[in-house]
Amino acid sequence: MKIQLLLSDITTVTCDAIVNAANNSLMGGGGVDGAIHFKGGPAILEECKIIVQRQGGCATGQAVYTGAGKLPAKYVIHTVGPVWHGGNQNEAALLQSCYRQSLLLANELGATTIAFPNISTGVYNYPKSQAAQIALQTVRNFEAENHTLETIFFVCYDVENYEIYRPLLA
Ligand code: AR6
């Protein structure tokens, strides 16, 4: 399994599954969530509404999937990262769960390529360095398991995150 680092907009990445840093409502928002719904078109929100009718949204640390509309991907995996409250409210385990549940779902979908944004490091305020270490550790732990994934992209949108990931992947 290859791990690749990109400084890019995740909506431009061609792969089987791109991961969205969504919120519990699954009804869209700003940041990467806004970009995915805007570029992907209304079909993604329509599918999210069906999921909400079925299960009432998505819990923090969990993941659900939809099609990817007009994006150059097959699926969008929507996961909900934790809001940073200082670190004593289970944030690390919840963030780890976002990455793991997304990987498990990608495997169920038979995906060979998946692209992750830096979940929770925008408006949810998770410290970027700690978040990067959790992201990488969770992916590396998953590597040893039986799965369909061949390439994992970490897609950084801001240079600060990119410079945090670069030495960790060197
Ligand atoms: N491609 C890749 N990464 C991006 C993009 C993009 N187009 N745009 C922003 N980022 P955030 P969160 C990076 O705030 O902290 C939404 O309103 C950004 O630089 O998008 O998990 C949801 O609806 C940052 O590193 O997500 C939720 O309410 C990372 O994506 C809430 O924000 C995550 O920033 C979730 O907050």
User: Would you list the DSSP string of 84-131?
Assistant: PSSS-SSHHHHHHHHHHHHHHHHHHTT-SEEEE--TTSSTT---HHHH
Tell me what pLDDT residue 87 has: 98
Tell me what pLDDT residue 167 has: 98
Tell me what pLDDT residue 13 has: 98
CA distance 22 to 30: 9
Tell me what pLDDT residue 157 has: 98
Residue 36 beta carbon below 6 angstroms from any ligand 1 atom:
no
Among all residues, which ones are annotated catalytic? 33
Task: Record the tokens describing residue 99, joined without a space.
Answer: 């990455």
Are 22 and 79 contacting, i.e. CB atoms less than 8 angstroms apart?
A: yes
Residue 117 beta carbon below 6 angstroms from any ligand 1 atom:
yes
Tell me what pLDDT residue 124 has: 98
Q: Kindly give the parts of the chain with pLDDT less than 50.
A: none
Residues, the chain: 170
CATH code assigned at 75: 3.40.220.10
Number of structural domains found in the chain: 1
Provide the domain limits for residue 67. 2-169
Query: Rounded to the nearest whole angstrom, what is the distance from the C-alpha of residue 117 to the centroid of ligand 1?
Result: 7
Tell me what pLDDT residue 129 has: 98
